[in-house]
Amino acid sequence: IVLALAMFAAGAAAFQRGALPAGRPVLAASSRRARAAPAVTMATAERVNYYNTLSQAQKLDQLARCRFMDRSEFADGISALDGKKVVIVGCGAQGLNQGLNMRDSGCDVSYALRQSAIDAKRQSYLNAQENGFEVGTYEDLIPGADVVLNLTPDKQHTSVVSAIMPLMKKGATLAYSHGFNIVEEGMQVREDLTVIMVAPKCPGTEVREEYKRGFGVPTLIAVHPVNDPKGEGLAQAKAYAAATGGDRAGVLESSFVAEVKSDLMGEQTILCGMLQTGAVLNFDKMVAKGIDPGYASKLIQFGWETITEALKHGGITGMMDRLDNPSKIKAFDLSEELKEIMRPLYKKHQDDIITGHFSSTMMADWDNDDENLLKWRAETAETNFEKEPAGDVDIPEQEYFDNAVLMVAMVKAGVELAFEAMVDVGMKPESAYYESLHETPLIANTIARKKLFEMNSVISDTAEYGCYLYDQACKPLLGDFMSKIDVDVIGTKYNADGYNG
């Protein structure tokens, strides 16, 4: 009996860590040898989906990890990073802007780049050097780092982590801002290293802008259950979130699994895909019906931002309340029709994300030199909306609602469908909320700057691929619906007589 109880206790402890011996993902021996060499590539490393190695109970447990943290839990600020050398690998949108915030918060930050990037003075090198950061090679800076932040593009994670891991000192911490490499590729990290995630729920540009105005962006934090040897992961993740300003906006204690599965779903559907599909379809409809192209372009480019600001401050109810009563009813009806049409697509995206089918398909495209990604990117650049500059016309704030009832309906339908799909597979409502309603305004801000080009430039490569994948499926799906649409719901005021009864 004593032996049985001991075995039960050991199994329960392993379950809580998400680390049952039979379920721990591994790389093949050839991959382990390759991992010690900087030249390893995505195609040469064997990928093992970590999530799919878990038992069903573990999967449900990890998907449901979501706790809204009280602001008082961040009273220690960045103390867990005091005196520690933070080295960021990668200096793109997330890398640069997180680093700027962390430096302003008092952290010791430097950047490690590949020798080739330094020699060629690539943009990553210029970003770091022109902002006054110390820049060095992996060999120069990684061995002395206490905390290494891997903020490179998702498709580079395996090669980057494989290159820096042998250089990291014993007991150091490896941090991510997206768990794709751990969850979908099964990267196995040295047991002495702590692995954490601090994931701001927006593009890097917005991380900086919100920090500069004294606020921050909603953030998910997590500790990889099989890599917390000293039990310091959560304290370090909290300090990292405080250093980037995330604690001011709200932090969810999550898991790598919940972050990845919800993040992929949100960015593919409402956050990026729905905004892109809606922009292209609404512009073409307006121009075909005689609306001035410059006006149509401006209505959409700045309309998403204006409409979703109301969403941010008052939720769907607040956004709908910006419409008069007849327009509100029309937006509701359009939204319900859109939900009926698009629900199977949202369920398919969520199913493909949960099973790993989406990741395996995208990684196959990585290995094929991004053939589909580059093709879809070129096609997006040639859309009529993207090529038509916003007209020099004044559009009052309320007009973005009154003359774009269909855009309001699309936001409502997309947010509700994404939320519904995530909750249906076991994610907590709070987690689904962050990845649908709360992040949409931050993505819409990027379209207001430089249209779809800006959005797809500052989101991750994974998000960009997922956005295009959704767009490719959704546009033909909405063909019949859009054929019945007229300018009363997009381009002109729906309630033209102003009667609000």
- Which three-class secondary structure string do you get for 367-389? HCCCHHHHHHHHHHHCCHHHHCC
In a domain, 7, yes or no: no
Q: What percent of the chain has pLDDT over 90?
A: 85
Q: How sure is the predictor about 107, in pLDDT bands with cuts at 50, 70 and 90?
A: very high
* pLDDT score at 42: 40
In a domain, 217, yes or no: yes
Q: Are residues 232 and 140 in the same domain?
A: yes
- Whether the pLDDT of residue 333 is over 90: the answer is yes
Q: How sure is the predictor about 45, in pLDDT bands with cuts at 50, 70 and 90?
A: low
Q: How sure is the predictor about 459, in pLDDT bands with cuts at 50, 70 and 90?
A: confident
* pLDDT score at 44: 41
333: domain CATH number is 1.10.1040.10
- Whether the pLDDT of residue 30 is over 70: the answer is no
Let me know if 357 is a catalytic residue: no
Q: How sure is the predictor about 498, in pLDDT bands with cuts at 50, 70 and 90?
A: confident
Domain range for 90 is 54-254
84: domain CATH number is 3.40.50.720
Q: Give the domain-ending residue among 229, 254, 279.
A: 254
Q: Are residues 241 and 278 in the same domain?
A: no
- Which value, to the nearest 10 degrees, does the dihedral of the CA atoms of residues 427, 433, 436, 440 take? -150
Q: Give the domain-ending residue among 254, 275, 302.
A: 254
Which tops the pLDDT comparison, 5 or 46? 46
Q: Are residues 250 and 300 in the same domain?
A: no
- Whether the pLDDT of residue 97 is over 80: the answer is yes
Quote the number of domains for the chain.
Answer: 2
Task: Tell me: is residue 435 an annotated ligand-binding position.
Answer: yes
- Whether the pLDDT of residue 3 is over 80: the answer is no
* pLDDT score at 32: 25
Q: Are residues 241 and 270 in the same domain?
A: no
- Whether the pLDDT of residue 38 is over 90: the answer is no
Q: Are residues 283 and 250 in the same domain?
A: no
Task: Tell me: is residue 460 an annotated ligand-binding position.
Answer: yes
Q: Are residues 309 and 207 in the same domain?
A: no
In a domain, 409, yes or no: yes
Q: Are residues 222 and 370 in the same domain?
A: no
Q: Are residues 119 and 235 in the same domain?
A: yes
Task: Tell me: is residue 439 an annotated ligand-binding position.
Answer: yes
Q: Give the domain-ending residue among 186, 219, 254.
A: 254
Contact between 167 and 138 (Cβ < 8 Å): yes
In a domain, 26, yes or no: no
Q: How sure is the predictor about 148, in pLDDT bands with cuts at 50, 70 and 90?
A: very high
* pLDDT score at 341: 98
In a domain, 457, yes or no: yes
What is the mean pLDDT of the segment spanning 429-436? 89
Digit-coded pLDDT (tens) for 380-390:
999 999 999 99
Among 194, 141, 149, 139, which residue's Cα sits nearest to residue 170? 194
- Whether the pLDDT of residue 29 is over 70: the answer is no
In a domain, 14, yes or no: no
250: Cβ contacts below 8 Å, ≥ 6 apart:
68, 69, 218, 219
DSSP string, 301-363: HHHHHHHHHHHHHHHHHHHHTTS-HHHHHHHHHHHHHHHHHHHHHHHHHHHHHHHTHHHHHHH
Q: Are residues 271 and 384 in the same domain?
A: yes
Q: How sure is the predictor about 400, in pLDDT bands with cuts at 50, 70 and 90?
A: very high
What is the mean pLDDT of the segment spanning 142-158? 97
Q: Are residues 212 and 289 in the same domain?
A: no
Q: Are residues 233 and 325 in the same domain?
A: no
pLDDT, mean over the chain: 91
In a domain, 154, yes or no: yes
Task: Tell me: is residue 267 an annotated ligand-binding position.
Answer: yes
* pLDDT score at 460: 87
Q: How sure is the predictor about 208, in pLDDT bands with cuts at 50, 70 and 90?
A: very high
Q: Are residues 67 and 89 in the same domain?
A: yes
Q: What percent of the chain has pLDDT over 70?
A: 91
- Whether the pLDDT of residue 11 is over 60: the answer is no
Among the listed residues 157, 178, 224, 438, the single catalytic one is 178
What is the mean pLDDT of the segment spanning 298-307? 98
- Whether the pLDDT of residue 143 is over 90: the answer is yes
